[in-house]
Amino acid sequence: MAFKKIDKENWGRKEYFEHYFSDVPCTYSITVKLDITRIKEKKQKLYPTMLYYLATVINRHAEFRTAINENGELGIYSEMIPCYTVFHKDTETFSNLWTEYKANLDDFCAAYEEDMLKYGKQPGITGKPNIPSNSFTVSMLPWATFEGFNLNLQKGYNYLIPIFTIGKYYQENERIMIPISIQVHHAVCDGFHVCRFTNELQELINN
């Protein structure tokens, strides 16, 4: 994993970044419905499959890999990996796990299963230690569907990495749909980028 620092003075997004990061700090979220009929028809495991698809589209586009690192430097990670929540029924709490990204779906799902087997029952907020800095957060709420979801982050105006929340899937006519909320920072990501992301995510699921 590499982190390439951004030369802000020669960065085409400098004006937008400074406006939405410093002048008018702005984050926003959008919730969309995805058609996951194809995933269910193929009897794929929903959570790891969605994690793989999310990571695949994120790794196509720099705006979803832009971050401020531990040294306070603005830059772009060469690759992002998913950090995701797993629920513990016995304590009604969750833990964060992460899985290295693999370019092949089956390889990623196999790595996910290994992590679940090794760390899935670990108590505490960090189930798998040493969460990498080049990770993005995904939560699954399989108990309810929703039409809107928003995170209120006290220090969110300094956090540039996208956050995803997936709800309960449901049937709509003859299709199986699932809501997903995407929270981003306007300094690095405009509405166009989010819409392109969701369109590419749907295309990936379909194909």
Catalytic residues: 186
- Residue ranges in 2-45 assigned as alpha helix (H): 14-18, 37-41
The span from the CA of 7 to the CA of 54, in Å, is 28
Query: Which among 133, 163, 151, 186 is positioned nearest to 22, based on CA atoms?
Result: 186
Distance of CA 92 to the CA centre of its chain: 23
The span from the CA of 18 to the CA of 110, in Å, is 42
Which residues sit opposite 87 in a β-bridge?
94
The span from the CA of 161 to the CA of 102, in Å, is 20
The span from the CA of 109 to the CA of 130, in Å, is 20
Alpha-carbon dihedral 75, 76, 81, 85, rounded to 10 degrees: 50
The span from the CA of 166 to the CA of 109, in Å, is 18
H or E element at residue 58 = helix 46-58
